[in-house]
Every structure is written in structure tokens, then in C-alpha cells.
Amino acid sequence: MDLILRNISQLILPQKKMWKIKRPKNASLFIKNGKVVAAGSNESSYLQLKKNLKDDWNNFLSSTEVLDCSGKIVTPGLVDPHTHSVFGATRQNEFKMRSEGKSYLEIAESGGGIRYSVRQLRKLSERKLVEATIPFLDRFFELGTTTVEVKSGYGLSLKDELKMLKVVRRLNAVHKITLIPTFLGAHEVPDEYRDNREKYIDIITQEMIPEVAESRLAEFCDIFTETGVFTIAESEKILGVAKDFGLKIKMHVEEFTDIGGAELAGKLGAVSADHLECVSDAGIKSMKNGGTVPVLLPGTALFLGLKNYPPARKMIEAELPVALGTDFNPGSSFTQSLPLMMTIACTQMKMTPDEAFYAVTVNSAKAVAREGLGTLDIGSVADFVVWDAKDLETLPYYFGGNLVERTYKNGELVYSKK
């Protein structure tokens, strides 16, 4: 896990100061024991290396594998802060129904959507789900993503929600990608409690959250706050209990309608509020006050054919650390590509390529409470990507393709283009 990358045409270095990205040309990156020990232009990085490795630097230079990166850019590994990567079956039939004019919420109300996914997931064992998810994790590496948040929320019973989170725990042990687990028992009211939603909320607050927190199966608690799903009052109750049990908070808010979800997220000090297609000015203000990261998921609007994209510029002007995620799931966004999200962010929300890149690294790391990830600062973990591109703009420009040549996790090669 020692490696030297030389002659990098541009080394992309997001800085802590918001939206700032340094890009030294003819650069080098030095990795030792899976950590970055020097990064910068060929000359300045040698000086850093000497300083950081002291007597050892000469030995390191002579014994370490060198990769020539002429004509390539190197960036930190991407961080996807919002996915539903564990599921039982795909839903291309709903895609077809939407193409014929049905809406996402109509399909959901007639028993499809999330509730269909719940029926499929309940049929599968922990082992089957682990096996089914591994190819998707490999695909994240192939697309340059090295850290992924993953939600439960297709189990919706104590047993099946725990099963999903155990699948995530198992995948973290057997796969090299980093998974960050989120409990989403409040994703929908399952079939068996449609006439008694109070009872389901009791199960979430009295059984699921205590068990999830005590077994440390999740770091975050999330909820789908939306007309026809969970109300503001219900969200406040559920998330209040989650906070009492030490879980950090995320929320799905303002995807289809504005019911004040972002305001609640700010009030609760949620780590992130996600979707935000219909966010109000009051919601933006509240997120700012609460230190809440807005996570925009433009794949959803594209895939569902919605007219509204989240008002990214307004949120950037309000000095919010806007992040981007794929929302990878079988219903509303069946893509794992963060570069594609950058493309949509640039074309539909008028974010610049620099902002879009910062939003899938530093800001998305912040959205999963992993400050420090998404950079190649000295001492940070060597999660990085070599791209077949000469500059950063080429990443969103090359839309729908894949420019990743190699992906490294903790200094180890985990994907290489054939």
C-alpha cells in the first residue's frame, strides 16, 4: 500500500475552505501505509516528502512502485451520501408505467413503489441479500466512489429492518468499500399497518430504534417526511426518540411538496436534509441555523421526469455546503454514477463543475459526518481515483460515460479498467 503517482497532469485537491480547489499541474502523490504523505507539484511534493519521511525518504523513493500519470487527472475518491443500495428486486415495470403517464406517488398509493420493494426484500435471506449487493458495490468502485451511505427501509418490520442493517454490517466486513449505515424504518407505513399507522410508529419508537441503537447497527436515523407518507408531527416524534438514543439525524424532505421538512431538520440539528426540490426560503434559513447539510439528488428529478430541480444556487448563496448524491435505489433513481450527478447539477441547477466536484467530495463527506474524507490532505486515507481526463471539467462534460481508469481504497488498487 505504498505508491508514487508521478507526472499527474492535474492533481485535484479540494481545500477545507468552502468551494476552494487547488490543481497543481505536473504533480505527484505519495502514499505510504495507505495514507497520503505528500501531494502537490513535482517539486513541492518532494520537499514535503523529505520533511514528512525524514531519514526514510530516500529508501521510500528507491523501493516504491511508481505509476506514470501523464495526461491524467487524479482526484480524491468520491463520497456518495445517500443511497438505498440493498434491495430485493428492480422495478423497471414502474419505469414503464411512468413513461405512460403515471406518477411516482400514484404508483406508491396503489401499493407499488417502496411497498413493493418491502414485499420483495422480506422474501430474501441475509445471505442472499449480501450476494445480490456485492456487484453494486464493485460498480461504485468502477465509477470512482469509495465511500457510500446505505439506508435500510425496505424491511419495515423489526426483524426485516435488522436483517437489512446486518447485511450492511456484513458487506462492510467482506467488501473493501466503506459503507455508512442509516436506519430508515420510517420510509413508509407497511401494508399490514395501513389502517393503524399509530401502531407502526410505536413499533419504530419503542422496538426498532432502541434495538438498532443498542446493537450499533446504524449511525444515522432517517425518515421520509412527505405528504401521504410521514407528517411533520410524526417526524418530530420519531426523530426525537432517535436523538435520545444517540443516533444522528437525516431526513428526506420537500421532494414532492413543501410541508416544512427542512425547517424541522434545521430545528433538530439534523446532519443532512435530502432532496429539497420544493424547499422554501424558511427551510433554507433553518438549515443554515441548524448546521444541516443540504444533499441534492438530481438523479431523482431526471428519472421521475419531475419539472423541479432543487434550487442549488439559492442554497449556495445562503452559504450552505451543498452536497450531491445518487439516491441509488430501484424506484426513483437507478444510477450509481456521481459524475452523472455532476452533469445534471451543472446543466439543470447551474452549479459550476468545481462546485459539483466539491459537492461529491468535501461536502458529501460532511453530510455523512466524515470530515476529512474527500480530500488528499497530508495524513488522510489514500482513497483516490485516476481518470482518463486532462482537467476537472471533463468529468461532468463526458456525460453518461465512465472515465475512471483506476480506483484506490486505503492505498490499494480496487478497480482497474481492462
Alpha helices in 245-385 (DSSP H): 261-268, 281-290, 298-304, 312-317, 338-349, 353-359, 362-367
| Residue whose beta carbon is closest to ligand NIG | 331
Does position 303 bind ligand NIG by CB under 6 A? no
Which of 248, 252 has the CB closer to ligand NIG?
Answer: 252
Nearer to ligand NIG, 188 or 405 (CB): 188
Helix (H, G, I), strand (E, B) or coil at 364: helix
Q: Collapse the DSSP code of 203 into the 3-class scheme (helix H, G, I; strand E, B; otherwise coil) and give the result.
A: helix
Q: Number of helices (H) and strands (E) in the chain: give both, helices first.
A: 18, 19
Task: Give the contact letters, 75-94, x = binds to ligand NIG (CB under 6 A), - = no.
Answer: ---------x----------
300 binds ligand NIG per the rule CB under 6 A:
yes
Q: Of 47-55, 235-243, 326-334, 359-367, which segment contacts ligand NIG by CB under 6 A?
A: 326-334
For residue 216, the 8-state DSSP code is: T
Pick 161 or 327: Cβ nearer Fe ion: 327
Chain residue at closest Cβ approach to Fe ion: 327
Of 293 and 414, the one with the shorter C-beta distance to ligand NIG is 293
Indicate which of ligand NIG, Fe ion, none lies near residue 224 (CB less than 5 to 8 Å, by partner kind).
Answer: ligand NIG
CA distance 385 to 404: 7
Q: What is the C-alpha separation between 227 and 113, in angstroms, rounded?
A: 15
Query: Which among 33-41, 129-137, 165-173, 323-331 is the span making contact with ligand NIG, rule CB under 6 A?
Result: 323-331
Q: Rg of the chain's alpha carbons, rounded to an integer?
A: 21
114 scored as a contact of ligand NIG (CB under 6 A): yes
Name residues whose C-beta falls within 8 Å of residue 252's C-beta, 6 or more positions apart in sequence.
Answer: 222, 223, 224, 225, 226, 261, 274, 275
Residues of this chain that interact with Fe ion (CB under 5 A) are: 327
d(CA 12, CA 385): 10
Q: How far is the CB of 304 from ligand NIG (least distance, A)?
A: 8
Minimum CB distance to ligand NIG, residue 266 (Å): 20
Q: Give the cell for residue 408.
A: 484506490
252 in contact with ligand NIG (CB under 6 A): yes
Q: Which is closer to Fe ion, CB of 45 or CB of 300?
A: 300
* DSSP string for 306-331: -SPPP-HHHHHHTT---EE---BBTT
Residue (21 or 259) nearer to ligand NIG, CB: 259
Residue 117 binds which of Fe ion, ligand NIG, none (CB < 5-8 A, kind-dependent): ligand NIG
Q: Among residues 181, 331, 339, 374, which is the contact residue for ligand NIG, using CB under 6 A?
A: 331
Min separation Cβ 402 and ligand NIG, Å: 23
Residue 224 CB, shortest distance to ligand NIG, in Å, is 5
Cα separation of 400 and 406, whole Å?
Answer: 18
CB atoms within 10 A of CB 60: 18
Rounded Cα distance, 217 and 182, in Å: 8
Question: Is residue 336 at the binding interface for ligand NIG, with CB under 6 A as the rule?
Answer: no
Report in angstroms how near the CB of residue 126 gets to ligand NIG at its nearest: 20
Q: Which of Fe ion, ligand NIG, none binds 39 (CB below 5-8 Å, type-dependent)?
A: none
Rounded Cα gap, residues 105 and 113, in angstroms: 8
Among positions 160, 234, 255, 383, the unique one binding ligand NIG when judged by CB under 6 A: 255
- CB closer to Fe ion out of 38 and 184: 184
Verify binding: residue 117, ligand NIG, rule CB under 6 A. Answer: yes
Residue 32 main-chain phi, psi, to 5 deg: -135, 130
Name 362's Cβ contacts closer than 8 Å, sequence gap at least 6: 14, 16, 18, 321, 374, 375
Contact 407, 414 (CB under 8 A): yes
Identify the three-state secondary structure at position 245.
coil
Question: What pairs with residue 324 in β-bridges?
Answer: 296
Q: Does 133 bind ligand NIG (CB under 6 A)?
A: no
The minimum distance between CB 252 and Fe ion, in angstroms, equals: 5
Smaller CB distance to ligand NIG: residue 151 or 248?
Answer: 151
Q: Which residues contact 208 (CB under 8 A, 6 or more apart)?
A: 158, 161, 183, 185
Least distance from C-beta 359 to ligand NIG, angstroms?
17
Residues contacting ligand NIG: total by CB under 6 A: 13
Collapsed DSSP state (helix, strand, coil) of residue 93? helix
Residues contributing to the site for ligand NIG (CB under 6 A):
84, 113-114, 117, 224, 252, 255, 300, 327, 329-332
